[in-house]
Amino acid sequence: MSGPEVYELMMQHHCWEFSDGSPHFKKMDSGDTLIFYLGGQKGRYIAGEACIAGPAAAITENSPVTFDRNKVPYFTWRIPLARIRRYEPKKYGLEVVEQLSFARTTKVERKYIGLLLRNGCRVLTDEDVGLIRSSVARIPS
């Protein structure tokens, strides 16, 4: 599945799923904000944001179905989301990401900046969040 397809599916289910190896997710609390950057050839843009609506929960056979678990067995945790706001697709990409604090402090060629997000999660500063929000025009979710 492409990044945009994963994002669409998760937003339909008002959740974000992740693996045991994803940094930071288990430390997140209700009320924290997630900002979504979609990678891959069909992605490479900031897609939106949402508020965490509850604690991370392990995915079990009784969990609501999002992905075919035979095809995507590596997502083992789910965080419920609220107040989902989608940004205009494919509009806010590397030109915004390269201005964020973690990108400015890393000596990475512009075309590889998205790879700094490949571990699934980065902690953003208040300045980073403000920069993203001032850069995007939200569309109704």
3-state helix, strand, coil in the chain (%, to 5): 30, 25, 50
The answer to whether 141 touches 49, Cβ cutoff 8 Å, is: no
- Encoded tokens for 131: 């920069």
**pLDDT value at residue 103:** 83
CATH of the domain at 29: 3.10.590.10
Total domain count for the chain? 1
Domain limits at 113? 3-139
Q: Which of the four pLDDT bands, split at 50, 70 and 90, describes residue 85?
A: very high
**pLDDT value at residue 28:** 85
Closest CA to 103 of 124, 130, 120: 124
Residue range 22-78, pLDDT digits in tens: 877 777 889 999 989 887 778 888 899 999 999 989 998 888 888 777 777 788 899
- Maximum Cα–Cα distance for the chain, whole Å? 45
Q: 63-91 burial by CB neighbour count: b if 16+ within 10 A, else e?
A: eeebbeeeeeeebebbbbbeebbbbebee
C-alpha to C-alpha distance for 1 and 28, rounded to whole angstroms: 26
